Amino acid sequence: GVTGIFKTFAATITFDEGNLATSKFVITIDVASLNTGNAVQNRHAIAAEWFDATTYPKIKFTSGTIQKSGSGYVVNGKMEVKGKVKEVSIPFNFTNTGSTGVFTSTLTIKRSDYGVGVASNDVSDEIKVEIKVPVIKG
């Protein structure tokens, strides 16, 4: 299977453990920053048939509601990939270390949901995305 890491992303996060109603996430991922560890695969992945970085340079997630879930949280929101928007739920954890903290999440994007690439035996329909965002509390 092919694994890839998006190297460049921006996150705007307002998060208060005591007030989830006012908490909000906007995460923008730079499609062209995808690194599969293989230059040929990188070119394929950002080409038109796959993520089409020229037409759709960003993957964007905008949160709606955030809920406590076990030892972590679940954020519900809209994921936009290649101009298609789907409602998704993403589990995440927040590690609080006083003045700083770290958000960690592993989410799965189904390529077929967004028309990314073609059905193939070589490449899984599910793309795993790992996100780690350190934050400094203001």
Instruction: Tell me the average confidence (pLDDT) per consecutive run of 10 residues in the chain, 138 residues long.
Output: 71 87 90 81 81 90 94 94 93 87 84 81 75 74
CB-side neighbour CA atoms (13 Å) of 111:
17
pLDDT in the model for residue 34 = 80
pLDDT in the model for residue 107 = 79
pLDDT in the model for residue 35 = 77
pLDDT in the model for residue 58 = 92
pTM metric for this prediction? 0.81
What is each CA distance from 28 to 76, 81, 119, in whole angstroms?
A: 16, 11, 26
CA angle 108, 114, 120 (to 5 degrees): 80
Tell me, rounded to whole angstroms, the distance of Cα 26 from its chain centroid.
10
Render pLDDT for 16-39 as a digit per residue (tens, 0 to 9).
Answer: 888 999 999 898 888 888 877 778
Tell me, rounded to whole angstroms, the distance of Cα 15 from its chain centroid.
17
